[in-house]
Structure formats: C-alpha cells, structure tokens
Amino acid sequence: MPRTLVTGGAGFLGSSLCEDLRKRDHEVICMDNLSTGDIRNIEHLQGEGFSFIKHDVTEYIFLAGSIDYILHFASPASPLDYLQLPIQTLKVGALGTHKALGLAKEKKATFLLASTSEVYGDPLIHPQREDYWGNVNPIGPRGVYEEAKRFAEALTMAYHRYHGVDTKIVRIFNTFGPRMRIGDGRAIPAFIPQSLANEPLTVFGDGNQTRSFCYVDDLIEGIYRLLMSDQNDPVNIGNPHEMTILEMGQLIIQLTGSSSKIIHDPLPVDDPKVRQPDISLAKGILGWEPKFSVEEGLKLTIKWFESIQNSS
C-alpha cells in the first residue's frame, strides 16, 4: 500500500484528495495547522489507513518510515484568506514548500506541488497555456499568493533539476464543490448561501470579469493522473468553460430557485479580468478532460450547502 502525505489535507482540496487517495488504497497522512482548514472535513476518514498530524508545514517535518508520495496543498487559498494572512501565505509557499521538498528528497518520494492559475496574474494571453509566463504585480495585495506560488514552482524545479527529485506541478484553475468554506470570500461559497437565504448576491465590479470553474471531482482525477505520470513540467488542470461572474450569479439564482437580486460591490485590487485554461497538454499527456458540466457540479454543491445548513 503506497504511503502518502497530504499537506493542507484538512482544506477544501486537501480533504477531497485525502478521500480520493483512501479510495485508491493509499495509506494517507494528513498534515494541517488548521489555520484555514477544518477538522470536520476529514472526520469521516478517521480509521485504519488514515492519520492526522496537526503541524505547521513551515516548521521542520519529521516523519518516521517510508513515504512514497507527498502532495503539498497547504496554503491560504482565497483572496480574503491571503489578504488576512499575507505573511503566512508567503511563508507556506516558500518555507513550507522547502520543508516538503526536503522531506521528499530524504524519503525519495514523488512530490506534487499545488500551484495555481494565479501564477498567470492578470493574463495578457488568453486562454492561458503553460508556456505563458504571466503578468503579476508583485507588490499588490494578491502578490503574496501569486509570488509565493511562483517561488514554490521555481523551488520545485530546482529540487527536480539539482537533486533529481521526481516532482510534478499542477496549475489549478478555479475549483468548486462540497467543503468550500462559507465566508472564505470566494464567489461560489458567497453566492450559494446568499441565494439559499434569498439575500442579495454580492457581485464585485460590473461582473464582466470571467472565470472558468471546474468541479472538484474532475480536478482530483486530473491531479491523480499527473501524480502517476512522468511529466515534470507544470500542467494546467481546469474546466475551459468560461463565464462571467454575473452569469455565474444568475445561474446560481436560477438553480436554487431564489428570489435574490444582484448587487455590485467594489472590485478588489488586481482582480484578473479573464481566466481560462488551455488544457491541450493535460488532454495529450494525461488523457484528461473534465466530465462534469458547471451546472451538474453546481447542483451537487448546492445540495451540500443545503445539507450543512440543515444540520447546523
């Protein structure tokens, strides 16, 4: 049974990964300092083949025994989180990645970095291909996340080239699904609870900025295929279905049968105007493409938000 460490394993994506890896019969060690993660995300996984370690990955990591795979997912990941935790965001991208890579080298483990479409910044090339270097403002409020992930990619490639560590880099585009945190400031976990409560949807700016939203199960499948591949250069994983934020708000209102109206709040600084993955590389080398339509994914996500509201 492969033994796999997931940092940030109690977060939205980390916990989905832990769940998937358990289904694939990995022994999973989940590490999280619970700064933005939530222990309730992994409670159902407790038992044989799963363990949780509360630890800040920016501090030295000691783990006994062999480790086959390390997936480094620890980081604040919503604009609101990294505005509130700017230094931690930089530290986990830099020092945390360093510690996780050091462990991978020591254990001769395959390492996968959760990178992001944010490395492309406010892109001047559309859609974004992996060979685009991006348009990032290093000193803007989003710079803490964007630059941390860019540094993390550079460090990962350095460990690959200099130390021969088997590394993978996934550039994750906007992903949604069950276990997103209400109030984390992102569009979908803001819009769904607002719609369910028939409260106004807070669209930032005129809402004509675009994003391309991928359902979490599709993302996780793509990540697993990348982990098992021999691709060391970054790969975009996302759903190319591009829509405006206004359209997303309207679709959520429609799917929830809500009477909510849309209101406009100020657009955050450096909010990217467009974002859409070019997934030719993932299609070609991983045989991967998304299976869930945005609407199917939203229905499942809405159902989950309804269930947690009913249980609280």
- Which one among 132, 151, 204, 304 touches ligand UDP, defined by CB under 6 A? 204
Size of the site for ligand UDP (CB under 6 A): 16
> Which phi-psi region, left, alpha or beta, contains residue 91 (left: φ > 0; alpha: ψ -120 to 50)?
alpha
Asked if 33 interacts with ligand UDP (CB under 6 A), we say no
Sign of CA dihedral 273, 274, 275, 278: negative
Q: Is there binding between residue 202 and ligand UDP (CB under 6 A)?
A: yes
Of 120, 145, 159, 224, which one is the catalytic site residue? 145
Reported as type and span, the H/E element at residue 244 is strand 242-244
CB nearer ligand UDP, residue 13 or residue 104: 13
In angstroms, what is the minimal distance from the CB of 190 to ligand UDP? 3
User: d(Cα 210, Cα 116) in Å, to the nearest integer?
Assistant: 16
End-to-end CA distance of the chain: 37
Q: According to CB under 6 A, which residues from 256 to 295 bind ligand UDP? A: 267-268, 271
Kindly list the distances between the CA atom of residue 10 and the CA atoms of 35, 196, 202, in Å, as whole numbers in the listed order.
10, 26, 28
Considering the rule CB under 6 A, would residue 219 count as an interface residue with ligand UDP?
no
Is 209 a binding residue for ligand UDP by CB under 6 A? The answer is yes
Q: How many CA atoms lie within 13 A of 169 on its CB side?
A: 24
Q: Is 159 a catalytic residue?
A: no
| Residues 162-201 interacting with ligand UDP (rule: CB under 6 A) | 174, 185-187, 190
Return residues touching ligand UDP (CB under 6 A).
78-79, 174, 185-187, 190, 202-204, 209, 211, 245, 267-268, 271
By annotation, the residues acting in catalysis are: 145
